[in-house]
Amino acid sequence: FNPAGFVSFYMRIWILSDIHVDFIENRKWLDQLSDFEYQDDLLILAGDVTHNLDLFKSTLISLRKKFKMLFFVPGNHDLWLRDDLFSDSLEKFHHIQQFCKSNDIKTSPELVSNNLVNILIVPLFTWYHLPHQTDSLYLTKPGEGSYEEMWNDSYFVKWPSESFKPVEYFLNLNKQQFRSGNADLVITFSHFLARQENMFSNDGRLDREKMKKFDRNPKFNFSMIAGSKLIDEQLRIMGSKIHVYGHQHINHDRIINGVRYVAHCLGYPAERLRGMIEGIEQGLKQIWP
């Protein structure tokens, strides 16, 4: 935690997540971001870059050069094991942390000053609770199948032991890192969702229409692996007024019980072509000022 922080008289805060640079179209999208326009600005990147470590590192280094500050938390894809470089996903997580630290990519709380407003940016390491676990975001879906068969994390994420509890482990890390500081505004961000409502917009009818149009795998139930209620509990204890998240590949911006929840994902090229990812055609999303 940096109590002094970085001071700027005018700094914009932008957000993005789920950039999936395994796709060349996504790499081109990122390459087209200006090298000059954001030099006084801050980017919050809410996870899912790639499982490929070399590509992961080159992507973050490239993004870091485009912004005054880059904040990051890993998503599930970033912790996939597709080779023998790491014994488990937790080891890869800590390797990523060290890489970020060595390259001035922020993964811990930082107090920044913008136009005399002190803003505390708080990265939250997170994971998801499964349907049988108490704090899951699970909602039943007619015709749903088993997540174990359809969800790649079942094959590519490996924890140190059967008894390892990733949600609790990561939230405890957040607790250890957090200091309230002298902040006028707290902005938190995580890859995974903090509430069931984060999966939906304010318009239930519109959500149902989207489901009919875009749900190409009726057996897959995203809520099984969406996030955890404990994330919301933690961000509210920290005093967050804006929470940024990713993971779902559906963009939302709504206020729930005094907190603004915002998702702005790049997603997969095919999703953008089908019109699934609204607002991304305008580029990065500015959340402050």
What pLDDT does residue 206 have?
A: 66
What pLDDT does residue 6 have?
A: 57
What pLDDT does residue 9 have?
A: 58
For the chain, domain boundaries: 2-288
Q: Per residue in 225-238, pLDDT tens?
A: 999 999 999 999 99
The CATH label, of 2.60.120, 3.30.310, 1.10.287, 3.60.21, for the domain at 2-288 is 3.60.21
Checking if the pLDDT of 255 tops 80, the result is yes
The confidence band for 193, taking pLDDT boundaries of 50, 70 and 90, is very high
Question: Looking at the whole model, is its pTM more than 0.75?
Answer: yes
Q: Per residue in 179-192, pLDDT tens?
A: 877 899 999 999 99
What pLDDT does residue 4 have?
A: 45
Calpha distance 41→22 (Å, rounded): 26
CA dihedral defined by 197, 200, 204, 208, rounded to 10 degrees?
Answer: -140
Checking if the pLDDT of 2 tops 70, the result is no
% pLDDT > 70, the chain: 92
